[in-house]
Amino acid sequence: MKVAQISIFIENKTGRLAEVSRVLGDAGVNIRALSLADTSDFGILRLIVDQTDKAKEVLKKEGFTVSKTEVIAVEVPDRPKGLYSILDILDKGKVNVEYMYAFVERCGENAVIIFRFDDVDAAIKVLTENSVQVLPGDRIYGI
């Protein structure tokens, strides 16, 4: 049920994002979804890619600090209040969202949202009990 995400430490200076994408591109790694969280000095680039281990390896080799985190991909109805319906379930289930971002591609008729929780297993339990579609990694890497 969990999806592997890689996070990369990036200093706020020109060319660093380009460098990450070049390194991944040269290794034939395709980015499936991404989000950039930034502060005035640094940012954290979070990526879901088709080849997680390979991406981590090539980035580390190029001197980047990389970590692997588990996130959850959830199918969300692509209509007004679609996102609310999911967040409401999480709220009622007292599950805290660390951060979230949307997938570029759709999965059939639905949008895909990536969630990072402090308690991943509790989140999966709450979501599946409420019949929310949690997507497995294999589906996500190949979208």
Partner 1 sequence: MIWNDEFETLPREAIQSLQLKRLQQTLQRVNATVPLYKRKFNEAKVTPEQIRSLEDMQRLPFTLKQDMRDTYPYGMFAVPLEQIVRIHASSGTTGKPTVVGYTRRDIETWTELMARSFVAAGAHKGDVIHNAYGYGLFTGGLGAHYGAEKIGASVIPMSGGNTKKQIMIMQDFGSSVLTCTPSYCLFLAEAAREEGLDIRDFKLRVGIHGAEPWSEQMRNEIEENLGIKAIDIYGLSEILGPGVGIECIEAQTGLHIWEDHFIPEIINPETGEVLPPGERGELVITTITKEGIPLIRYRTRDITRLIPEPCICGRTHVRLERMSGRSDDMLIIRGVNVFPSQIESVLFNIEGVEPHYQLIVERDGNLDTLEVQVEVNEKTFSDEIKVLQDLGNRIRKDIKDLLGVTCKVRLVEPRSIARSEGKAKRVIDNRQSD
For partner 1, the closer of residues 18 and 80 by Cβ is: 18
Question: From the CB of 68, what's the least distance to partner 1, in Å?
Answer: 9
44 binds partner 1 (CB under 8 A): yes
SS3 119: coil
16 binds partner 1 (CB under 8 A): yes
46 binds partner 1 (CB under 8 A): yes
Task: Compute the distance between CA of residue 24 and CA of residue 45 in angstroms, rounded to an integer.
Answer: 13
98 binds partner 1 (CB under 8 A): yes
- Residue 140's Cα: distance from chain center in Å? 10
SS3 7: strand
Binding partner 1 by CB under 8 A: which of 14, 15, 39, 108?
Answer: 39
Per-residue interface string for the shown chain with partner 1, residues 100-119, x marking contact by CB under 8 A: ----------------x---
37 binds partner 1 (CB under 8 A): yes
Whole-number Cα distances in Å, 41 to 10, 11, 44, 91: 9, 6, 11, 32
Task: Compute the distance between CA of residue 100 and CA of residue 56 in angstroms, rounded to an integer.
Answer: 21
Please list, in sequence order, all residues whose beta carbon lies within 8 angstroms of the beta carbon of residue 121, skipping any fewer than 6 positions away: none
Task: Compute the distance between CA of residue 137 and CA of residue 57 in angstroms, rounded to an integer.
Answer: 19
For partner 1, the closer of residues 69 and 133 by Cβ is: 69
Question: From the CB of 67, what's the least distance to partner 1, in Å?
Answer: 6
- Which stretches of the chain bind partner 1, using CB under 8 A? 5, 7, 9-11, 16, 37, 39, 41-42, 44, 46, 63-65, 67, 69, 98-99, 116
